[in-house]
């Protein structure tokens, strides 16, 4: 008779969804329950706090030990307070350091380079619905991204783009996109430890 697997309740930023599902597809240690929040809420702390609180209302006190908050520390408010309350928060600054580590990210960001994941492009910059990502108008997007010479997209092989999507992203962002293959090994190790 197979023993019942321990539960893991994951509340996290939708930016991680494709990569997380990929690294967990062979991890059968836990019974995972996912609650994804829309990407980009970190740019509006009031909205993130509200949506995160709503998601946590459904988690029973008995399940707090099994709860994992999949947001980097710099994306959240009052991280120290949350940790004091026993919440387990991803031990990373943000989604990019979770993917490649702090030192590698710093190296990649040299030369007026913005680094993003493929999910950033898909879920933030290619969104047509203002209700989905209402943070920047097209003009604000170009102004905010204008300081970069290029945008380096970390390609973990979980989300492919058509030529049309790449051109649309360039038109909206006004910055050249370059793609770089990215292993999920660093992220896999971080997540494996985090879920334990």
Beta strand residue intervals within the chain, DSSP E: 6-13, 30-37, 67-70, 88-89, 113-117, 150-155, 176-181
Question: How many structural domains comprise the chain?
Answer: 2
Residue 1 within any structural domain of the chain: no
From first to last of its 196 residues, the chain has per-residue pLDDT tens of: 456 889 999 999 998 899 999 999 989 999 999 999 888 777 777 888 888 888 877 777 667 889 999 988 888 776 666 665 678 889 999 999 999 999 999 999 999 999 999 888 888 777 766 555 556 677 888 888 889 999 999 999 998 888 998 998 888 888 989 999 999 999 999 999 999 9
pTM (two decimals): 0.86
70 plus 124 within the same structural domain: no
Cα end-to-end span (Å), the chain:
23
Determine the structural domain holding residue 15 and report its residue range. Answer: 6-94+185-195
């Amino acid at each position: 008779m197979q023993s019942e697997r321990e539960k893991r309740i994951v509340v996290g930023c939708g930016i991680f969804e494709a990569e997380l599902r990929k690294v967990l597809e062979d991890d059968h240690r836990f019974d995972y329950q996912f609650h994804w929040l829309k990407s980009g809420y970190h740019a509006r702390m009031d909205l993130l706090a509200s949506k995160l609180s709503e998601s946590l209302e459904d988690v029973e006190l008995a399940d707090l030990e099994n709860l994992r908050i999949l947001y980097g520390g710099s994306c959240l408010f009052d991280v120290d307070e949350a940790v004091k309350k026993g919440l387990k928060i991803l031990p990373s600054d943000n989604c990019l350091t979770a993917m490649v580590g702090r030192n590698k990210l710093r190296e990649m960001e040299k030369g007026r380079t913005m680094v993003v994941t493929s999910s950033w492009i898909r879920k933030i910059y290619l969104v047509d619905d203002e209700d989905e990502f209402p943070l920047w108008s097209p003009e604000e997007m170009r102004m905010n991204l204008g300081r970069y010479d290029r945008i380096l997209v970390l390609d973990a092989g979980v989300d492919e783009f058509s030529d049309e999507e790449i051109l649309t992203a360039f038109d909206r962002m006004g910055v050249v996109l370059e793609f770089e293959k990215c292993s999920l090994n660093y992220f896999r190790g971080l997540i494996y430890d985090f879920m334990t």
